Amino acid sequence: MDKIHFIITGGTIDSEYFPPHETAEPNKTTIIPEYINVKVRPHLITQFETICMLDSGDITDEIRQKIVQTIKDSALQKVIITHGTNTMTETAAYLHAQLANANKTIVLTGSMIPLKEFAMSDAGFNLGYAIAQAQKLETGVYICMNAHTFKAGHVTKNRAEARFEER
């Protein structure tokens, strides 16, 4: 079984919903390792690393470069990045350009609804799908959302439909 390096960056998947404001705000600390360890283990060998806990609109190229360096420094070949959906395509394209010869499988995933507290969240499904895809995809950079896999640079977020689509 492949070992997977999870890189955490925040986003809705790792946020808490605040009903009075009708907003989701990134948690101060990630809940992804706890979720994976409870729902998936002992069948999955993982390493977790938090780069930041931000809304994806606050992800800068400086942070993207930290992600690139973390991937380069990782001894593992399979990488899953949890990321907010608003700038996921930009980060995927950046990683694709920076890591073209990295010989690693890199999957970005997230959710439209926070993982914690919402029974109908797409987060758990997207995490599971990303884990399955990371283990079978060839090297490259991908986005895995809602049972679809897209190559970096060939995907856009359809905000009106709240889904990702091939472009």
Digit-by-digit pLDDT tens for the chain (167 residues) are 679 999 999 999 999 887 777 778 889 999 999 988 887 766 777 899 999 999 999 999 999 999 999 999 999 999 999 999 999 999 999 999 999 899 999 999 999 999 987 778 899 999 999 999 999 999 999 999 999 999 999 999 999 988 999 99
Closest to 73 measured CA to CA, from 7, 149, 157, 147 = 7
The per-residue pLDDT for 23 is 78
What per-residue confidence (pLDDT) applies to 42?
61
Q: Say how far apart CA 159 and CA 43 lie, in whole Å.
A: 35
pTM of this prediction? 0.90
72 near 25, Cβ under 8 Å?
no
* Cβ-contact 14, 27 below 8 angstroms: yes
How much is the pLDDT for 142?
98
Domain 3-166: what homologous superfamily?
L-asparaginase, N-terminal domain (3.40.50.1170)
* C-alpha–C-alpha distance, residues 32 and 34, integer Å: 5
Which sequence spans correspond to the domains of the chain?
3-166
In sequence order, what DSSP letters do the residues of 18-42 get, joined into one string?
Answer: ETTTTEEEE-SS--HHHHHHHHTTT
